[in-house]
Amino acid sequence: MKVTFRWFGRNDDSVPLEYIRQIPGCEGLMGAMGQFVAGEVWPEEDIKAYAEEVHAAGLKLEVIESVNVHEDIKLGLPGRDRYIDNYIVTLRRLAKYGVKLIVYNFMPVLDWLRTDLDHVNSEDGSRSMFYDDALVRDITPDKLPEMMLSQSNGFSLPGWEPERVQELGRIMDKYKGMTPDDLRQNLRYFFQKIIPVCEELGLRMAMHPDDPAWPIFGLPRIAHSQEDFDKIVALCDSPANSICLCTGSLGSVRENDVPAMIRHFGKMNRIGCVHLRNIKFMGERTFRESSHLSADGDLDMYEIVRAVYDTCPDTYMRPDHGRMIWGETGRPGYGLYDRALGIAYINGLWEAIDKERRRER
């Protein structure tokens, strides 16, 4: 397991690279460059500068997240070919600087969603991101940007860039009547164009699941269950078509057996990376993000790490969202302390499993 950490760049992250380097066992980043609009070609000089900065800090940059897919591609509109061509140019540039894995999602319009980014946990005063489906059912989508961005502490929120958010209503209208199968066909088209390029470049694509793991506001969503990902894997038979197995996203419905899903797709060599975090159910379709410790949430981190160890031990891992603790402020979910604690905990599970397994051999 290659331990990594998400970092949004010097001007948009509260955590210095030097601190990330000091987290035990952390060898690289799942980098994010949020300044680009979906469909835009990422300028080579920006990629180069980011990569050089990361390398100078003694960290690897083999994974980049959030190379966002333009809505025209998801909608299957005539404009998609131009945006796919742009996407390919960005992939080539990233590969040139040593990137091996791209994390992306295919969620229509709305990316991840929470109703409270700064929920105070009554038992210890820590702060978590919180989702209450009843609140989402009560509001209209045009209220979402205000709800999310008013709580962002001045940082950008991945997937909630102002350019996207401005056009929310207009884009949502275009999805009216689209079925999950239609959306999958548009994904197949995207794969047909980009996966051969990925194979040539030695790159893998890793799709992030829907978060939360069910459709919202009537939009089609195709990536929130084992059955869904079986279909996605079958759309294009290549290891370059892989999954970013996010435990907190998939785990937001109890029906998803996350360790079993890791074993299923790990054995197929279709897990490109894992996002590890824990969540605690607070009611029906209501949850908060907890610390990584199994006892603090409803996911069994021991079983999850064991599944990774057994079926995809060389995968990339990063702690996903963490709580805000010890008075830290920053981008919701992306402080230093709780995510670093998450890594320390995962490292401990890993060492225990590894030594146990070696003794058994």
Catalytic residue positions, numbered? 208, 246, 275, 320-321, 334
Distance of closest approach, residue 179 Cβ to Mn ion, in angstroms:
26
Please state whether beta strands 101-104 and 60-65 pair in parallel, antiparallel, or not at all (unpaired): parallel
Binding range to Mn ion, per CB under 5 A, among 60-68, 113-121, 238-246, 266-274: 238-246
Binding range to Mn ion, per CB under 5 A, among 73-81, 239-247, 280-288, 302-310: 239-247
Among 320, 332, 335, 339, binds Mn ion (CB under 5 A): 320
Binding to Mn ion by residue 113, rule CB under 5 A?
A: no
Buried b (16+ CB within 10 A) or exposed e, 141-179: beebbebbbebeeebbbbbbbeebbeebeebbeebeebe
Compare residues 221 and 275 and give the one whose CB is closer to Mn ion: 275
Quote the CA–CA distance of 269 and 26 in Å, as a whole number: 23
Compare residues 187 and 246 and give the one whose CB is closer to Mn ion: 246
Compare residues 75 and 101 and give the one whose CB is closer to Mn ion: 101
DSSP count for the chain of H helices, then E strands? 14, 12
Binding to Mn ion by residue 114, rule CB under 5 A?
A: no
Quote the CA–CA distance of 340 and 343 in Å, as a whole number: 5
Binding to Mn ion by residue 306, rule CB under 5 A?
A: no
For residues 243-302, which are near Mn ion according to CB under 5 A? 246, 275
Compare residues 232 and 246 and give the one whose CB is closer to Mn ion: 246
For residues 175-204, which are near Mn ion according to CB under 5 A? none
Contacts 24+ apart (CB under 8 A), 193-199: 193/84, 193/88, 194/84, 194/87, 194/88, 194/91, 195/236, 195/238, 195/240, 195/241, 197/88, 197/91, 197/92, 198/91, 198/102, 198/238, 198/240, 199/238, 199/240
Distance of closest approach, residue 208 Cβ to Mn ion, in angstroms:
6
Distance of closest approach, residue 140 Cβ to Mn ion, in angstroms:
26
Binding to Mn ion by residue 323, rule CB under 5 A?
A: no
Compare residues 30 and 84 and give the one whose CB is closer to Mn ion: 30
> Collapsing DSSP states into helix, strand and coil, what is residue 161?
coil
Distance of closest approach, residue 296 Cβ to Mn ion, in angstroms:
18
Distance of closest approach, residue 151 Cβ to Mn ion, in angstroms:
19
Binding to Mn ion by residue 221, rule CB under 5 A?
A: no
User: Beta-carbon neighbour count of residue 239 at 10 Å?
Assistant: 14
Distance of closest approach, residue 245 Cβ to Mn ion, in angstroms:
9
Quote the CA–CA distance of 320 and 292 in Å, as a whole number: 9
CB 37 within 8 A of CB 75: no
Compare residues 112 and 191 and give the one whose CB is closer to Mn ion: 112
- Which chain residues interact with Mn ion by CB under 5 A? 246, 275, 320
